[in-house]
Structure formats: C-alpha cells, structure tokens
C-alpha cells in the first residue's frame, strides 16, 4: 500500500489521503445474493417472456380461444341460418366476414370452426399425453427385455404412414368428430412415448431415484413422483407441437370430405366450399378459414419453439 501510495505521490502530489483509505465492506452485504433465487418454472417463464415471437403466438392463441367461445355469442347471426336472398355478400358492417352461397354468416361459421379445431387438437394431445407418458415411462424405467419388446412395437407403428392410417380408419368407421380423434390417436402417441422413454432412461440413474429405490419405494410411485415431474419440459413442448398437427389433419380430412360433414362448420369444410368459388370473385369464403388455419399453425409452432428454449436447463442462468 505504501509503495503504491508513494508512486502515486511522485506522479501527482495533489492526490488527497482519503483516496488511500481501504473500503470497509460489510460481510453480510458481501455474501448477499445479487440475483433473487427463482424456481425452475419461474425462471422458464421469465425467459419465455423475453421471446417476443413466442409471446405473440401465445397472445394469438388466447385471442383464438376467446373468439371460439364468445364469437358466436357476439354475432347476431346463427351458424346454420340460411338467407338465400343474401348469398355471397362481401364483408360489411352487417356481415363481418361476408356470407356463403347459402347466405350463412362466415364470421359465425369461422368461430364454430375454431371450436372444432381446438377441441380436436386438445383432445388428441391429451390422449397422446396419457398413452405416451404411461407407455414411454414403463419402457424407460423397466429397461432390458421389456424395453426392447415395447420399443419394437413402437417402431412397427412408426413405420406405418401416419396419414394413410388416419384415412383408412376414417373410411372404415365413417366420418365424424369422434372418429377423427380416434384416428389421430392411433399412432399419434408414438412421438410422446419415445421422448418420455429417452428422458426416463437418462433420469432413472440419478442419485435421488436410486435413493428412492433403496428405501423400497414402488416403481409406480417412483415414476409418478420422481421421473415424470423432471420430464415435464419436453412433454409440454411435444404437446404444443401435437396440437397444430391434429388441427391441420382435421382440416385436411374435412377438406377432402372424410372429416366433419356439411352443414356443420369446420375450417376444412369452409375451405373446400370456398375453393370452388374463388374464381368467381368470392375471395372471403376461402380467405378467412385458411387465414385462421395458417395463423393457428404458426402460433402453436413458434410457441413450441419458445417453450423448448425456455424449458431447456442448459440455458438457465
């Protein structure tokens, strides 16, 4: 200290002595945590908030849910009321999205189509979640011969063309909302099962799982209490990617006549009806259903990408 002080004096004699007094630092202040401790889910939520594109997708999906629930209530027109004197009217103050060839309000039918699409997507995702988590959790935890047999069966189903299986089921059973959900769920759970199995294989050798085994905890309780909570991040991401796939599959099946049947409102049915009239200048009949299909697919995908980054433990600070 004295040497350094003398060196400074030789360079600048006017430096006051107060500059060389050591700073008295409180020990508790020095050991205080600068950044508040956050749980895994709070930290993931804060990082998701920083992803503007993912938040834009989340905001649109909230708007879509509100639109599906309250849209038909706000509209003064019924979903199936036909007004043959008001056919193919363009969007206006009376008909916000215009009318179709039977004089039905396109806005109200689009809102009902949102109900069907969200219901199909959520139900398919929930069924995939239940089957995939149970199947993948058992295969990953048991391992060995059980895992080999279960995964060989999964590989056989994975080799089948997904869309071909769905169309085959729709043709055999017949079109309908329940049939669509059943057809989408036959092989839709495979991706979830493979992800859960991979996560369980990695986590089951951790110390806290081995400690539970040592204390005699049952396999079902270990999977439910120790393994599944630590795999929820990838599971949530997979579900957000399953929903748009199911929505698009429903719209495609309805578009080709194997899904929801007219006169029920569905985005696929409306797109099919509007495609034949696009050359006649009735652009709104095709524009609005395809717009909502595209925005919904985009919103779910960007939200899934954002959740994948936010829930990744390697990116946690």
Q: What is the pLDDT of residues 44-92, one digit of tens each?
A: 788 888 889 999 999 999 999 999 999 888 888 887 778 888 888 899 8
Instruction: Please tell me the predicted confidence (pLDDT) of residue 53.
Output: 92
pLDDT in tens, 115-147: 998 999 899 899 999 999 889 988 888 888 888
What band does 10 get if pLDDT is binned at 50, 70 and 90?
low
Residue 184 CA to residue 212 CA, distance in Å, equals: 37
What band does 25 get if pLDDT is binned at 50, 70 and 90?
low
Residue 151 CA to residue 155 CA, distance in Å, equals: 6
Q: Kindly list the domain boundaries of the chain, sorted by start residue.
A: 44-315
Question: The whole model's pTM is what?
Answer: 0.77
Instruction: Please tell me the predicted confidence (pLDDT) of residue 186.
Output: 86
CA 180, distance to chain mean position in Å, is: 20
User: 44-315, which class in CATH?
Assistant: mainly alpha
Alpha helices in 50-105 (DSSP H): 52-74
**Are 199 and 234 in contact, with CB atoms under 8 Å apart?**
yes
Is residue 4 scored above 90 in pLDDT? no
- C-alpha closest to that of 219 among 152, 313, 146: 146
pLDDT in tens, 151-190: 999 888 888 887 788 888 888 887 778 888 888 888 888 9
The encoded tokens of residue 117 equal 């699409």
How many C-beta atoms lie closer than 10 Å to residue 97's C-beta?
A: 22
The encoded tokens of residue 283 equal 């652009």
Alpha helices in 204-314 (DSSP H): 207-214, 219-222, 232-255, 267-275, 284-310
Beta bridge partners of 99: 105
Q: Which region among 10-24, 199-213, 301-315 has the lowest average model confidence (pLDDT)? A: 10-24
Beta bridge partners of 105: 99
């Amino acid at each position: 200290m004295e040497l350094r002080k003398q060196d400074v004096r030789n360079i600048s004699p006017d430096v006051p002595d107060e500059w060389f007094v050591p700073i008295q630092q409180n020990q508790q202040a020095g050991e205080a945590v600068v950044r508040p401790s956050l749980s895994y889910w709070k930290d993931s939520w804060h990082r998701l908030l920083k992803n503007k594109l993912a938040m834009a997708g989340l905001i649109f999906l909230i708007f879509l849910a509100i639109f599906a629930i309250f849209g038909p209530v706000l509209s003064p027109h019924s979903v199936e009321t036909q007004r043959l004197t008001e056919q193919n009217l363009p969007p206006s103050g009376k008909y916000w999205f215009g009318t179709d060839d039977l004089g039905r309000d396109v806005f109200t039918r689009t809102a009902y189509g949102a109900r069907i699409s969200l219901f199909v997507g959520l139900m398919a995702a929930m069924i995939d979640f239940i089957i995939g988590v149970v199947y993948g959790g058992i295969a990953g935890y048991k391992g060995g011969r059980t895992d080999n047999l279960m995964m060989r069966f999964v590989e056989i189903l994975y080799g089948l063309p997904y869309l071909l299986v769905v169309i085959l089921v729709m043709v055999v059973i017949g079109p309908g909302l329940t049939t669509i959900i059943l057809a989408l769920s036959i092989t839709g759970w495979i991706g979830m099962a493979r992800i859960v199995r991979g996560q369980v294989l990695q986590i089951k050798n951790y110390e806290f799982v081995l400690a539970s085994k040592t204390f005699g905890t049952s396999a079902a309780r270990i999977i439910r209490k120790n393994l599944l909570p630590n795999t929820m991040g990838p599971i949530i991401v997979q579900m957000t990617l399953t929903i748009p796939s199911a929505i698009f599959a429903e719209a495609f099946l309805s578009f080709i006549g194997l899904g929801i049947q007219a006169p029920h409102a569905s985005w696929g049915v409306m797109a099919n009806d509007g495609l034949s009239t696009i050359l006649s200048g009735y652009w709104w009949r095709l524009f609005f259903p395809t717009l909502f299909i595209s925005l919904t697919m985009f919103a779910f995908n960007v939200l899934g990408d954002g959740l994948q980054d936010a829930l990744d433990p390697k990116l946690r600070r």
